[in-house]
Amino acid sequence: MVSAIILAGGWATRLRPLSLTKPKPLFPVLGKPIIDYTLDALERAEIKDVYISLRVMADNIIKHVERGGRKVTFVVEEEPLGDLGPLKYISEKYPLDDEVLVIYGDVYMEVDFNEILSLHRSNECGATLMSAEVEDPQRYGVLYTEGDKLIQIVEKPSNPLSKQINAGVYVFDKKLFSMINGKSIARHFLPKVLQQSCVSVYRYQGVWADIGIPADYLKLNFDLLRRKYPRGFISDKAKVSEKAELTPPYFIMEDARVGEAYLDSNAILGRGSVVGNGSYVGESLLMDRVVVGENSFLKNVIVGDNSKIGKWNHIRERTILGEEVVTGDGVLLNRGTIILPYKEVSDPVYKEGKIIL
């Protein structure tokens, strides 16, 4: 038998202002919170002893998971424990199985967890980690290996010698947890494991993404949209005007309404969102219940839940609106504008990269 621990307690500071009101594991990827993809994969692997380590906005995650009817154990950290501390805390409080699968709760992947478990069982190493190949390894922990064995992890090297990075999935023999000391798996725990045993590497070849920054978050949504719905997707509970112009791929969720508008490629509309007549939305992600007034223009932007865009708005690239932001009619937001949640904006923002507190 196998136990699984999902690490879902971080702040996600680089995703602000969106992460000020929504924990990173609940960020939607094609309308589905990213943590649900992991929980679904655990169900497919028939892993039932599941723990979720929480801290930031823990209640939000608990309510979401419970609404889905999933049977998991929630463990709320009283203080920051890093990604290593929860393993010690949970192993001392709960009767974990001999093999423990550890998963970062804010990473998208399509891995079959039984494959990494099979590799772990086929060798004599006390630990196994999953690697993924990325184009920009400088942002991650880069793996240096010998065959399928780990030699070293170098965090964010300026001159990486490999594109294989730590992909945020581990299998540990539970007996190793007696050596835990510190807060970081990569920096404090794996070096100790390597002194006493070996760490095997499972080379994952599928889609993998850490939604650490807004550009990554958009890219993941757009990549999956092109792969899964190249002709576009419209929920049968959405209402789209026959006079609307749609360029695929697009993604329109239930209860959304689109008037005589133009949805360009990579337009993603969350539940209950509205796009008024004459408006343009392209390369943008609107979360749930976003309203876009008539004759507005949004390109390459992210809009948080329950925000309302006025008429004749022009919202330019890399702009992010937090939750429940309201803009008046005729507002211009120049490139890279950041608006924190619960703000009302009635004046144009001409300066690029302005942050509205």
- Give residue 136's pLDDT: 82
The band of 9, judged by pLDDT with boundaries at 50, 70 and 90, is confident
pLDDT tens sequence across 209-229: 988 889 999 999 999 999 999
Rounded to an integer, the average pLDDT of 74-93 is 89
pLDDT tens sequence across 124-146: 899 999 999 888 888 888 898 88
Residue 14 pLDDT > 90, yes or no? no
Residues 6+ apart with CB under 8 A from 221: 29, 30, 266, 268, 285
d(CA 218, CA 323): 17
pLDDT tens sequence across 143-153: 988 888 998 88
Residues 6+ apart with CB under 8 A from 188: 84, 180, 181, 182
Going from the C-alpha of 350 to that of each of 50, 300, 314, 340, 347, the distances in angstroms are: 49, 17, 11, 17, 9
Going from the C-alpha of 267 to that of each of 4, 169, 190, the distances in angstroms are: 35, 31, 42
Query: Does 174 or 138 have the greater pLDDT score?
Result: 174
Rounded to an integer, the average pLDDT of 56-62 is 93
Rounded to an integer, the average pLDDT of 10-24 is 88
Model confidence, pTM: 0.92
Nearest partner of 18 among 273, 280, 211, judged by Cα: 211
d(CA 309, CA 303): 9
